[in-house]
Amino acid sequence: MNALTKTFDPAQVDNRAFREALGRFGTGVTVITCETGTGPLGITANSFSSLSLDPPLVMWAPAKNSSRYPFFMATQRFAIHVIAQDTAEICSAFARDGDAFDQFDWERNDYGVPILNNCLSRFECVTHATHDGGDHSIVVGRVERVTTGDGAPLLFFGGDYGGFEKTS
Ligand SMILES: Cc1cc2nc3c(=O)[nH]c(=O)nc-3n(C[C@H](O)[C@H](O)[C@H](O)COP(=O)(O)O)c2cc1C
């Protein structure tokens, strides 16, 4: 039995209760990368979503108060990496530090975008559109190249990392 115990208007309470309610939505975890004038930059993001098959579009949402925000808004090219369960440390590292590349296996693609090699799926994107989204923006990417393989996904739920368990 799943009991609903709280009702509130998120505009009237502090952000914590709203964040906790949103955190009941389990997601995968990605690391998004781009090149900047001062070197490669990465960020851990669970706002990633598939968007369109034809044309092939995906999206994610950078926070406006992140020091990395201006770079991801300015870039014309970026890559999205779906992280595997056994490499949660990649997410922890890029949540702390946008410059964590040297700890991991990475290279640059033909356009100079830094790409990570240890992930479940990688989407190399051109920035297709950006939209306002309150204290975040929505970045839509047109996927130009996909690299993918098998493995167990890393999931994020209630502020914790974990794994996927099949129910049927
Ligand atoms: C699981 C997880 C998911 C996250 N998702 C996002 C996201 O979707 N968008 C975002 O801007 N930051 C997200 N973050 C926060 C960034 O990874 C990073 O911690 C933040 O940009 C740090 O702020 P700074 O760039 O000012 O140092 C997430 C962090 C974690 C641990």
CATH classification at residue 143: 2.30.110.10
Residue 95: give the domain boundaries.
28-155
How many other CB atoms are found less than 10 A from the CB of residue 82? 18
Q: What is the pLDDT of residue 73?
A: 98
List residues near ligand 1 (CB under 6 A). 29, 43-47, 60-63, 66-68, 91, 95, 156
Residue 119 lies in a domain: yes
Tokens read off for 5: 């115990």
Interior CA angle at 50 toward 126 and 145, to 5°? 40
pTM score of the predicted model: 0.97
Cα 18 to middle of ligand 1, angstroms? 17
Rounded average pLDDT over 48-61: 98
Q: What own/partner pairs with CB < 8 Å and gap ≥ 24 does 3-11 have?
A: none
How many other CB atoms are found less than 10 A from the CB of residue 30? 28
Cα 168 to middle of ligand 1, angstroms? 33
Residue 166 lies in a domain: no
Q: What is the pLDDT of residue 131?
A: 98
Residue 112 lies in a domain: yes
Q: What is the pLDDT of residue 102?
A: 97
Domain count along the chain: 1
